Amino acid sequence: MPVTSGGGTEVAPVGRRTQQERRSRTQTLLLDATVECLAEVGWSGTSTTEVARRAGVSRGAQQHHYPTKMELVDAAVEHLLERQRQAYEAAFAELPPERHNIEGALDLLWDVFRSPPARALLELAVASRTDAELRALCSDLNDRVLQLILDTFEQLFPRTHLPDDSIPTALRTVYAVYVGLSVQNALDDDVSGHQRAVHDQFKSLARLLIPDPDADARDTRHEAGPQGTGPGDSH
């Protein structure tokens, strides 16, 4: 497992590198370029030629590591998910203590959904509807992202264990809102501020349901109490 340092555009002098280093470097270059390409020119604009160009490698090198376009995209998705998870956790860790709460977490999540990598994922998700091959790669993408969010949140708010029954639908509602907002945000970048307004509303609600970790020690401890995390609380 190559553990190259994150994301940098470092081009060290091309001295003598081990095969593993060469391999790893080229692959990272290619995968980053793929994500960037998806985010900037969309799925239909993402060609292996363009990816290779952005990565600064030859088409031959690209084909050597990822013989087909699908293998390239497949690897890029894994690359992307792992990188996003790390970025989110790191960002949360660096958050000032007073924002170590659900609101801060949702703000970060919103940032994630507006980031280029997330837009790359949206491109893939939408495109995979009509592309059988791509669909095979993205079929479980929804659940994976959902699971990623769930895991991270549980890790960040270990004591806020909502009843297992209420989590799925509630979380999925939140997820749906974020996806919907991100689609619109991808279009107009929220020049009108509407998306922000919706998001603010959502944060307010979440704050009511998930108190700050610091304050929750003496308060919420009921097992089945907080039934609705999402907008709906009936049923």
Instruction: Please report, as ranges, the residues that interact with a second copy according to CB under 8 A.
Output: 40-45, 119, 122-123, 125-131, 135, 138-139, 141-142, 168-169, 172-173, 175-181, 183-184, 186-188, 194-195, 197-198, 200-202, 204-205, 208, 228, 230-235
Cα–chain center distance at 65: 25
Q: Is 58 in the site for DNA (CB under 7 A)?
A: yes
- Provide the residue count of the chain: 235
Among the listed residues 172, 157, 168, the one whose alpha carbon sits nearest the alpha carbon of residue 216: 157
Cβ 15 vs Cβ 37: under 8 Å: no
Which does residue 49 touch among DNA, a second copy, none (CB within 5 to 8 A, set by kind)? Answer: DNA
Contact by Cβ (8 Å): 76, 52:
no
48's tokens: 């292996």
Shortest Å, Cβ 14 to DNA: 7
Are the CB atoms for 101 and 213 separated by under 8 Å?
yes
Q: Closer to DNA at the Cβ: 121 or 134?
A: 134
Which listed option, DNA, a second copy, none, makes contact with residue 81 (CB within 5 to 8 Å by class)? none
Residue 13 DSSP code: -
Tell me: does residue 60 bind DNA (CB under 7 A): yes
Question: Which x/- pattern over 14-33 shows residues binding DNA (rule: CB under 7 A)?
Answer: --xxxxx-xx-xx-------
CA distance 225 to 209: 10
| Minimum CB distance to a second copy smaller for 16 or for 235 | 235
CB contact at 8 A, 72 and 133 = no
SS3 218: coil
Q: With binding defined as CB under 7 A, does residue 130 bind DNA?
A: no
**Shorter beta-carbon distance to DNA: residue 41 or 186:** 41
Select from a second copy, DNA, none the partner in contact with residue 197, using the beta carbon and a kind-dependent cut-off of 5 to 8 Å. a second copy
Does residue 63 belong to the site contacting DNA (CB under 7 A)? Answer: yes
161 near DNA, judged by CB under 7 A: no
Residue whose CB is less far from a second copy, 88 or 175: 175
CB count within 10 Å of CB 37 equals 24
User: What is the Cα–Cα distance from 115 to 152, expressed in whole angstroms?
Assistant: 18
Binding residues for DNA, per CB under 7 A? Answer: 1-3, 5, 16-20, 22-23, 25-26, 46-50, 57-61, 63-65, 67-70
